[in-house]
Amino acid sequence: MSDSSGSESEVDLTLTERATIVVDAIREVIPKALHDPAVAVICGSGLHHLADALSPEPRCEIPFSELPYFPLTTVDGHIGKLVFGYFGTVPAVCMVGRIHFYEGNPFDMSVFPVRVFSVMGVKSIIVTNAAGGLNPDYKVGDLMVLNDHINIPGLAGWHPLKGANDPLFGPRFLALSDAYDLELRKKFFDCARDLNLTRPIHEGVYVFVSGPTYETRAESRMLRLLGADAVGMSTVPEIIIARHSGMRVLAVSLITNEVVTAPMPKVSDGEADLSAGKANHEEVIAAANAAGADMRRLVLGMISKLI
């Protein structure tokens, strides 16, 4: 496999053609038993161990760097590879390390892996992420199953479906009022109950912001006022592309920090602790690592309920 993203003869290739080239390249190197994953899992920040739940045989890993058209991930905690294998009896692909909009990729390329999954025949996708809790009831380590989202960049014109529509994937005007599959959400809660998980699991609204800065206090208050329960820099573009391709979607946020919404203390308030609750990437990764085992059990249990 080689990087073939730049040659002039390829400039006019459609997304479908590019995704098909990648699928052919993948199928050249993975065993036949892995050619048709039914489920894709996108592993969020610090959640790359989800792929450890794939059975050891047959199993095959391909770094993004060996795939044509795949942008490279540049973020600590995001390794950048596809791992093919089986969750129990279910053929699956895990995307370990995701490609974010804030890394400078054009939107259609940051979601390109989901197009590739669609061409491979993936029917359901589980998208995980690390998110900041805006809802005051949410604590670090809680989970939130997404039941809706607010796409701030999308509302402002930065949308992953902007530009020519490829009808081979889906419609020009896509409805998103049913983006989060009710059946899959029910199964997720059943699964958590079967596993006797004590970790609180909420259901709520995720707001997508472009990042890479964490939010100011005033921005956080605004996002909460808009109706969001958790905030993050990923997931929504992938979900839109998955729905455009007709996949069923389950998305889960791990709350890795409690977002500071209290107004900035004024000079007249005297000395104030400004560091309290200040978000940082290390805290996000640490919280994700601590929840890794539960997330693995949930994803594994969930996938056995999908087929």
CA 268, 269, 270, 273 dihedral sign is: negative
Sign for the pseudo-dihedral over CA of 180, 82, 93, 285: negative
Which CB, 116 or 231, lies closer to ligand HPA? 231
Tell me the C-alpha to C-alpha distance, in Å, between residue 90 and each of 27, 240, 299. Answer: 18, 24, 12
Which of 215, 229, 238, 294 binds ligand HPA (CB under 6 A)? It is 215
Binding ligand HPA (rule: CB under 6 A), the pick from 13, 222, 279, 285 is: 279
290 lies in the binding site for ligand HPA (CB under 6 A) = no
Nearer to ligand HPA, 87 or 208 (CB): 208
How far is the C-alpha of 306 from the C-alpha of 92, rounded, in Å? 12
Q: Which stretch binds ligand HPA (CB under 6 A): 26-34, 129-137, 170-178, 188-196?
A: 129-137
The residue (of 47 and 233) whose beta carbon lies closer to ligand HPA is: 233
Min dist CB 172 to ligand HPA, Å, is: 30
**Which among 47-55, 90-98, 229-237, 267-275 is the span making contact with ligand HPA, rule CB under 6 A?**
229-237
What number of other Cβ atoms are within 10 A of residue 162's Cβ?
Answer: 11
Q: Quick one: which of 155, 253, 153, 156 has its CA closest to 206?
A: 253
Of residues 245 and 256, the one with the C-beta less far from ligand HPA = 256
Binding-site residue total for ligand HPA (CB under 6 A)? 13
Does position 131 bind ligand HPA by CB under 6 A?
yes
Could you say whether residue 132 binds ligand HPA (CB under 6 A)?
yes
| Residue closer to ligand HPA, measured from CB, 184 or 236 | 236
Taking alpha carbons only, the member of 296, 112, 126 closest to residue 199 is 296
DSSP codes of every residue in 129-153: EEEEE-STT--TT-EEEEEEEEEHH
Residue from 96, 126, 192, 259 touching ligand HPA (CB under 6 A): that is 259
110 part of the interface to ligand HPA, by CB under 6 A: no
The one among 232, 237, 292, 301 contacting ligand HPA by CB under 6 A: 232
Give the DSSP H or E segment for 125.
strand 124-133
The yes or no reply on residue 204 touching ligand HPA (CB under 6 A) is no
Cβ-contact 132, 255 below 8 angstroms: yes
Q: Indicate whether 257 belongs to the interface with ligand HPA (CB under 6 A).
A: yes
Q: Is 251 in the site for ligand HPA (CB under 6 A)?
A: no
Rounded Cα–Cα distance for residues 297 and 295 (Å) = 6
| Phi then psi dihedrals of residue 53, to 5 deg | -80, -5
**Residue 301: which of 223, 166, 184, 202 has the closest Cα?**
184
Q: Which range, of 61-69, 193-201, 251-259, 263-271, touches ligand HPA by CB under 6 A?
A: 251-259
**Pair of tokens at residue 143:** 């989970």
> With respect to ligand HPA, which residue has the nearer C-beta, 215 or 294?
215
Query: Which residues in this chain contact ligand HPA in the complex, by CB under 6 A?
Result: 130-132, 214-215, 231-233, 256-257, 259, 279, 284
